[in-house]
Amino acid sequence: MYLDCAVFENYRNIEHFPFSFDKGINILYGKNAQGKTNVIEGIYLFGSGKSFRHAREKDLIKADKNHAQVSIAYVDSVRENKMTYRMFRDLSKETFKNGIKIGRMSSFIGNFKAVLFCPEHLSIVKDEPAQRRTFLDSAISQINRSYLSALMEHKKLIEQRNALLKGYEKQKDSFAVTMEILSEKLAQDAAYITEVRAKYLTKLFSLVNGYLSEMTEGHEKAEFCYLSHIAGNETEELFDREENLKRYRRIFSKDIQKEIIIGSSIGGAHRDDFEIKLNGMNAKIFASQGQQRSIALAMKLAEGEISREESGEYPVFLLDDVLSELDRDRKHYVLSELHDRQVIITTCDENDFSGINNALKIYVENGNYEYR
């Protein structure tokens, strides 16, 4: 898959610009705060259905305008497609594919496939569980619609179950019946979500190790450990959905009194996490900045590889400020690994790419873009 062009209108600091991209490496370069990440963010709207910087729709609209829009044309194995993402000040948005309005985000996500790397993704290695879940959920959702639907339903059910727990005093009569129905649906979704995540991580880390090993001449090896209320000693145990279901049923029934007191669900797939180990030690605590960045990057390369295995073609790689903090050997490895894929990459330091021929270079200054 490759991105042919993208037209930005009133998006962040970009008033209007029609980009056309090469099938290979595209470099956006310029000083800080000029509008490089804005382009990556605008394109990735089509990958995840929202801003990866957690901005609300109205923050994406150019300061003095009422609405903004980004339109893209991309080519997949079948045809060229056009998609549009339009946002308004009242936080609403409209999305289209080939002229037809798409109402549900679950139908919007998964059309244009992209892998994003941004500096914030170091948090996958070093921060809270939510960052790792977001990574997993957005990677898997792009290639698996049933997962995305289960995830959305699970989120809704947890909200409903928590509301029921909080409102126990007012609904004592119907509490038990409603709780049983909600908990059973939740257990079904959670059993499936945990199974898919465990299988995905297992595949991901076998690829991550290949990349890390090549990047570091065999010095670094990463592993993960799945952390969940239903996890045993081996990740493979989570591949069995029926077993997961039994365990989740137990979890949703055993602590109800405690849950009523705290007014929230103790267990569920929304609390899953995984620990990353580098050479046997917790990477969050022991890995250096460069090592953490290398793991996050290897995870992104692996995400792209799995996406290609599932859909038959590489996604578009959007790499925001990816090379800083990497030494020369690691930089060289990353660029050589990406040579046969479409990459849109940002940098403040043009020299990072001095060895690369045939790249399309776009100079960025104050929301204006110049092909050089």
Ligand X SMILES: Nc1ncnc2c1ncn2[C@@H]1O[C@H](COP(=O)(O)OP(=O)(O)OP(=O)(O)O)[C@@H](O)[C@H]1O
- For ligand X, which is the closer residue by CB, 165 or 326? 326
The residues of the shown chain that bind Mg ion, judged by CB under 5 A, are: 36-37
Residues in region 149-188 near ligand X by CB under 6 A? none
* 35-43, 87-95, 272-280, 285-293 -> range binding ligand X (CB under 6 A): 35-43
Judged by CB under 6 A, the residue of 3, 6, 7, 12 near ligand X is 12
Calpha distance 274→59 (Å, rounded)? 32
Calpha distance 348→113 (Å, rounded)? 26
Judged by CB under 6 A, the residue of 1, 35, 226, 345 near ligand X is 35
Q: How far is C-alpha 307 from the chain's CA centre?
A: 12
13 in Cβ contact with 89 (< 8 Å): no
- For ligand X, which is the closer residue by CB, 27 or 198? 27
Residues 6+ apart with CB under 8 A from 80: 4, 73, 74
Is 37 among the residues that bind ligand X (CB under 6 A)?
yes
Is 365 among the residues that bind ligand X (CB under 6 A)?
no
Distance in Å, CB of 87 to ligand X, minimum: 11
Is 32 among the residues that bind ligand X (CB under 6 A)?
yes
Name 114's bridge partners.
316
User: Is 320 in a helix, a strand, or coil?
Assistant: strand
Distance in Å, CB of 124 to Mg ion, minimum: 18
Closest by CA position to 360, among listed 118, 121, 3: 3
Read off the amino acid at residue 157. Answer: L
Distance in Å, CB of 323 to ligand X, minimum: 13
Six-digit token pair at 279? 């050479």
Six-digit token pair at 126? 């070093």
Is 59 among the residues that bind ligand X (CB under 6 A)?
yes
DSSP state of 341: S
- For Mg ion, which is the closer residue by CB, 29 or 74? 29
The one of ligand X, Mg ion, none whose footprint includes residue 34, by CB under 5 to 8 A per kind, is ligand X
Measured CA to CA in angstroms, residue 311 lies from 24, 25, 144, 238 at distances of 19, 21, 10, 25
Residues 6+ apart with CB under 8 A from 243: 237
The one of Mg ion, ligand X, none whose footprint includes residue 360, by CB under 5 to 8 A per kind, is none
Distance in Å, CB of 68 to ligand X, minimum: 8
- For Mg ion, which is the closer residue by CB, 37 or 244? 37
Distance in Å, CB of 319 to ligand X, minimum: 12
Distance in Å, CB of 64 to ligand X, minimum: 8
Judged by CB under 6 A, the residue of 21, 27, 34, 293 near ligand X is 34
* 32-40, 104-112, 254-262, 327-335 -> range binding ligand X (CB under 6 A): 32-40
Calpha distance 52→57 (Å, rounded)? 12
User: Is 190 in a helix, a strand, or coil?
Assistant: helix
Provide the mask over 334-353, with x wherever binding to ligand X is found by CB under 6 A and - wherever it is not. --------------x-----
Q: How far is C-alpha 80 from the chain's CA centre?
A: 24
Judged by CB under 6 A, the residue of 7, 21, 27, 36 near ligand X is 36
Residue found by looking up tokens 């609405």 in the block: 67
- For ligand X, which is the closer residue by CB, 31 or 258? 31
Distance in Å, CB of 44 to ligand X, minimum: 12
Is 13 among the residues that bind ligand X (CB under 6 A)?
yes
Q: How far is C-alpha 297 from the chain's CA centre?
A: 13
Using only C-alpha atoms, the chain has a radius of gyration, in whole angstroms, of: 22
By CB under 6 A, name the binding residues for ligand X.
Answer: 12-13, 32-38, 59, 61-63, 321, 348, 364
